[in-house]
Amino acid sequence: MAAVISTNIASLNAQRNLNSSQSALSTSLQRLSSGLRINSAKDDAAGLAISERFTSQIRGLDQARRNANDGVSLLQTAEGSLASTGDILQRVRELAVQSSNATNSAGDRKAIQAEVGQLLSEADRISQTSEFNGMKLLDGSFGTASFQVGANAGQTIQATTANFRTNNYGNNEVGTTAPATTTGAAYTAGSFSIQGLQSATLNVGTGDTAQTLAASINGATEKTGVAASAKTEESAKFIANGVYSLALTSDNGTAANVTFTVGASLNASGLASAVSAFNDVSASTGVTAKLNSSNDGLILTNAAGNNITLANNSTNVAHTVTAAAINGAGTVGTPATIAASGGTATTMGYISMNSDKGFSIGNVTTTNAVVAAGATLNTVAGIDVSTVKGSNDALKILDSALSSVNSQRASFGALQSRFETAVSNLQSTSENLSASRSRIQDTDFAAETAKLTRGQILQQAGTAMLAQANSLPKGVLSLLQS
């Protein structure tokens, strides 16, 4: 090998290796100090791209989890307000039951109505003032909201609230008018449909009563959301100084005999015997009697909606009975005269169809049973328990109102459970993605410290060898000295 001094190959080689070990040592120090295997794109270009996508997903999932928790807070706020509204409605219902009792005077009912008015005002105030982060929750302005519960577009949960102003919910009702008191069948065969939650078509037979028709409607309640009640009320008037023998058929299969004498005056005293005679057989007939508002006749009632049939077996031809159906509004229909010595007449009941949701009656092919109509909303704000009828009507309104409130609360509760499940899933997904990113991006300290030790040793050895390589050209001096 030639002895040269212009080019020190050994020194150049030592410098190259020293630079390489210096770079490796710097990389190890950077990774150990930052905790990251990838500190710049040159460390792992593909790994950097993959880990950054993971980072986007992880940060999006973490924010979505916070969003879902905010959604839970909003729903808890709304549900809490509805719970207070439900408590108010329960108290108002309690007062309506109290007011419908016969022991209350008009003044008592007025006092009860005063409390009802204040309670309903508070219920309306709650619906107007319940809010979350400045957003009204129960006055109808919130509508449907989308909660972003995923890292990507379109990953949302929808939440809907209704309008719980007291003038906006209550009982949706369609009533029928009782057919006129008659001696023959009142219904014609046919059908009608209820368009509620779902549509249902119901058939009507000539032998149906308000009771059987209501039972048919109730049989489809699960499908339509509409429930029905039936009631038969009949106005019965008699002749003063009359001796009556009547055969009464309603719930009973065999006619019950009702005999009484009407006094000289058509008043409470003169009709007392008649009231007692009807009520004495009510256990079998299901028909109760009371004086009408003017005390000149009776109101016969079958609370289940069965027909009331009267046969006049009185022997005196002058002792007729005047009977007429009464509808749900308390209006007395066209009267029919039941002649003595065997005359008969049948009074049918009326039906009230109710739902907390809107519905309508259509496709009617029968007469005197139902009419095509849309439901009328009787609102919570309109509750008035100052009369017995108002108290009874209030119960229907409050039952529907409570159903609406409880249904919305159940919806909020289900959404809270869904949000909590979403939060759990988001946490799990974020955790797994973080683990995946860690395997790509994070420093393995065990391996990297070994590389650091190797680099330090190579640095020290390289420095020593560079010093030796730099001293090699000095050997040429010995040649010059000789």
* pLDDT over 60 at 145, yes or no: yes
The mean pLDDT of 330-344, rounded to a whole number, is 92
Q: Is the dihedral of CA 120, 122, 125, 131 positive or negative?
A: negative
Partners of 374 in the β-ladder: 360
Q: What is the C-alpha separation between 381 and 383, in angstroms, rounded?
A: 6
* pLDDT over 60 at 1, yes or no: no
Half-sphere exposure of 447 toward its Cβ, with a 13 Å CA cutoff? 8
Express the helix, strand and coil content of the chain in percent, nearest 5 each. Answer: 45, 20, 30
Q: What is the pLDDT of residues 149-197, one digit of tens each?
A: 999 999 999 999 999 999 999 999 999 888 888 776 678 899 999 999 9
* SS3 state at 119: helix
Q: What was the pLDDT predicted at 41?
A: 87
Q: What was the pLDDT predicted at 2?
A: 67
Buried b (16+ CB within 10 A) or exposed e, 42-80: eebeebbebbeebeebbebbeebbebbbebbebbebbbe
User: Please, which residues have CB within 8 angstroms of residue 354's CB and are 6 or more apart in sequence?
Assistant: 171, 172, 173, 226, 227, 228, 229, 396, 399, 400
Q: What was the pLDDT predicted at 38?
A: 84
Pairing of strands 243-249, 170-175: unpaired
For residues 284 and 229, the answer to whether their CB atoms sit within 8 Å is no
* pLDDT over 60 at 234, yes or no: yes
Q: What is the pLDDT of residues 19-51, one digit of tens each?
A: 888 888 888 888 888 888 888 888 889 988 999
